[in-house]
Structure 1
């Protein structure tokens, strides 16, 4: 059972990537079929679609490259790929992919005005950057704190400070 964790990550990544590609193909095919056969769309509609769905496609292929496990010709796994459920930037890329799929589906059904939903992605990015910056500021200011106990200290810590180092007696 060597590399059990790596094999689990590889199996999970393969399943995630397969599901991602099938969902992406379905959503984009739905949009194009609705636009071609049900609605008479101007050329600008397809340009907007190409411009706003391209970040999702780029992220999808990047996640494919990042998470796809590598196998040797004899079937042995050379690398498991990065964990596609990791926090941080990977999580943000999945958010962009999912939100873009939603925007593509809604724009396919409701029309070009639904592309304004895509504007939430930059707003979400700005909010993440702001909360990260303020959290970092609080962390840095906490490093320079003095000997005073923090306002959010636990009850146990408060009791110990009241006792001021009382010794526990053993019997």
Structure 2
């Protein structure tokens, strides 16, 4: 099976432009950016509850603590939310009228929570309709890791952010292309 496509900033912008003109734009944008800006897996995005993201006073947490049930590998982990992602979540949450801690953070048009499989298909169609070929639900996560690696973040930090036990797994996520190599040799 081929690896998920790593999106360029231009391709991410293309998908976000497509989303902005569609129904549930705020929700779809926030869900997609959870992968690109926090490195969440589709299962983790689908299983988020309001209480995972909101403090008791209604503010958005800067860190999400995922339980072993919500993650891959039966081990909980902490997700760090950058300021720009917290701002996106605030825009999305302004469209929500329910704030009970136990309801899904992201819901379908029927107000039900997403299953990982259905959310995987949803992402596939968002990319396809936006004109991005070969992208998948894992593209955000792979792009997150590659982007940070290209900015000089060490593989041990990347492995921890991704929830990988082995840095060898993390290294497989890092996409190397001609532009990356051009930038690398300019550091000499």
After TM superposition, is the score higher than 0.5?
A: no
Instruction: Compare the two structures and name the one with the higher helix fraction.
Output: 1
Which gives a bigger RCO, structure 1 or 2 (Cα 8 Å, sep 6+)? 2
Please state which band the TM-score falls in when normalised by the shorter chain: under 0.3
- Per the normalisation by structure 2, the TM-score is 0.23
Larger Rg: 1
